[in-house]
């Protein structure tokens, strides 16, 4: 069976398919058709779905749970070997939300280190304000948050997925290294501790000194040699700029976001990444679906997984890893009006 992919600005889209043997790419720029070799289930080939920013909240946003069922059904139909979620799995870091997320993943038999890898986001620790008027009181809530306790709660909710992870030293959950076939996932906690000046809303990021030094040891170790390295982190590395057509209110909100959703000390992280041969850096945080390149490093942002594009489609990345090569396509999910709150296919 052939699957047709349209190419728009070097981005590949393919539609929902229960299986595929070959991929057919057509270019909007020229009538070129490329047939890929038949994809098999060889040990060296791996399909990885990249999701992020699920913001699950059964009480406030039940539609996001519906969307997640759709997305996981699609991952299953595409025979993905592994799924990664780069943070903000919950919306408010409430016990009920962690339990809800866990129950959905369990229903799809994903609470397995061979099938799922997760990293933490700011909403999994501090949550976030629901309404604009909550912004003024939210720093006080963040200040009272037990940061380390929330990290442990996150770990506990998805504990099975951390089985087999390797740690450099100490009892910290992050950073970790997980090896699946020829792929090495390096998981990083990029959520900054609360600070009245540097992180008043809990949404800014920073890789602390202790974690940074452990990452240096990881990237200098032999465990990464000969393997495809994929970094999992929540915060973004690209600059967010307002559209030229943006109005005053949109530009004002953009300025607020740029100061409350940044990753501090990016330069030293770039320098660290430069010491290793990294295949991709996967992240979320900004609710866009995009890929970009900085400092000769390829980044994929799946922050828009739950937030439909203007055409009403949800998108996530599907990575193909084989023989030290890594490529990706963008998978489009068309929301189904039927209730699919079940892991059983319809």
Q: How far is the C-alpha of 175 from the C-alpha of 256, rounded, in Å? A: 29
pLDDT score at 243: 59
Query: Structure tokens of 72?
Result: 């996981």
**83 - beta bridge partners?**
49, 116
Residue 340 near residue 346, CB atoms below 8 Å: yes
CATH superfamily of 42-333: Metallo-dependent phosphatases (3.60.21.10)
Q: What is the pLDDT of residues 293-325, one digit of tens each?
A: 999 999 999 999 999 888 888 999 999 999 889
pLDDT score at 163: 95
pLDDT score at 102: 98
pLDDT score at 164: 93
Residue ranges covered by each domain of the chain? 1-39, 42-333
Residue 66 near residue 339, CB atoms below 8 Å: yes
Query: Structure tokens of 182?
Result: 């020829």
pLDDT score at 135: 84
| Per-residue pLDDT of the chain in tens (346 residues, 90 and over written 9) | 334 333 333 334 443 333 333 333 322 323 322 233 333 445 678 999 999 999 999 999 999 999 999 999 999 999 999 999 999 999 999 999 999 999 999 999 999 999 999 999 999 999 998 877 888 899 999 999 999 999 999 999 999 999 999 986 667 899 999 999 999 999 999 999 999 999 999 999 999 999 999 999 999 999 898 899 999 999 999 986 655 666 766 665 556 666 688 999 999 999 999 999 999 999 999 999 999 999 999 999 999 999 988 888 899 999 999 988 999 999 999 876 555 577 765 4
pLDDT score at 239: 81
Three-state helix/strand/coil letters over the chain: CEEEEEEECCEEEECCCCCCCEEEEEECCCCCEEECCCCCCCCCCEEEEEECCCCEECCCEHHHHHHHHHHHHHHHHCCCCEEEEECCCECCCCHHHHHHHHHHHHHCCCCCCCCEEEECCHHHCCCCCCCHHHCCCHHHHHHCCCHHHHHHHHHHHCHHHHCCCECCCCCCCCCEEEEECCEEEEECCCECCCECCCECCCCCECCCHHHHHHHHHHHHCHHHCCCEEEEECCCCCCCCCCCCCCCHHHHHHHHHHHHHCCECCHHHHHHHHCCCCEEEEEECCCCCCEEEEECCEEEEECCCCCCCCCCCCEEEEEEEEECCEEEEEEEEECCCCCCCCCCCCC
pLDDT score at 158: 98
pLDDT score at 129: 86
């Amino acid at each position: 069976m052939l699957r047709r992919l349209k190419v728009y600005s070097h981005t590949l889209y393919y539609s929902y398919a229960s299986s595929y043997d070959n991929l057919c790419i057509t270019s909007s720029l020229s009538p070129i058709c490329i047939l890929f070799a038949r994809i098999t289930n060889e040990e060296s080939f791996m399909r990885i779905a990249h999701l992020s920013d699920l913001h699950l909240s059964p009480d406030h946003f039940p539609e996001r749970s519906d969307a997640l069922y759709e997305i996981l059904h699609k991952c299953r139909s595409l025979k993905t070997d592994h799924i990664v979620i780069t943070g903000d799995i919950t919306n408010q870091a409430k016990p009920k939300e962690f339990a809800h997320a866990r129950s959905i993943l369990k229903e799809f038999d994903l609470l397995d280190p061979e099938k799922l890898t997760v990293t933490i986001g700011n909403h999994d620790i501090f949550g976030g304000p629901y309404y604009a008027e909550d912004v003024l009181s939210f720093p006080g809530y963040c200040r009272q948050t037990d940061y380390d306790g929330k990290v442990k709660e996150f770990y506990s909710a998805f504990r099975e997925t951390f089985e087999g992870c390797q740690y450099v030293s100490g009892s910290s959950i992050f950073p970790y290294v997980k090896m699946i076939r020829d792929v090495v996932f390096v998981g990083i906690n990029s959520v900054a501790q609360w600070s009245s000046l540097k992180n008043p809303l809990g949404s800014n990021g920073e890789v602390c000194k202790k974690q940074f030094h452990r990452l240096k040891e990881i990237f200098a170790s032999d465990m990464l040699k000969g393997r495809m390295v994929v970094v999992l982190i929540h915060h973004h590395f690209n600059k967010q700029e307002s559209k030229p057509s943006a109005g005053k209110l949109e530009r004002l909100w953009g300025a607020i976001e740029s100061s409350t959703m940044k990753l501090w000390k990016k330069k030293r992280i770039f320098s660290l990444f430069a010491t290793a041969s990294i295949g991709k850096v996967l992240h979320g945080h900004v609710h866009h679906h995009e890929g970009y390149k900085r400092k000769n490093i390829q980044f994929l942002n799946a922050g828009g997984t739950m937030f439909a594009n203007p055409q009403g489609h949800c998108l996530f990345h599907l990575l193909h890893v084989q023989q030290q090569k890594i490529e990706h396509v963008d998978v489009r999910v068309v929301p189904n009006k039927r209730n699919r709150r079940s892991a059983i296919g319809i």
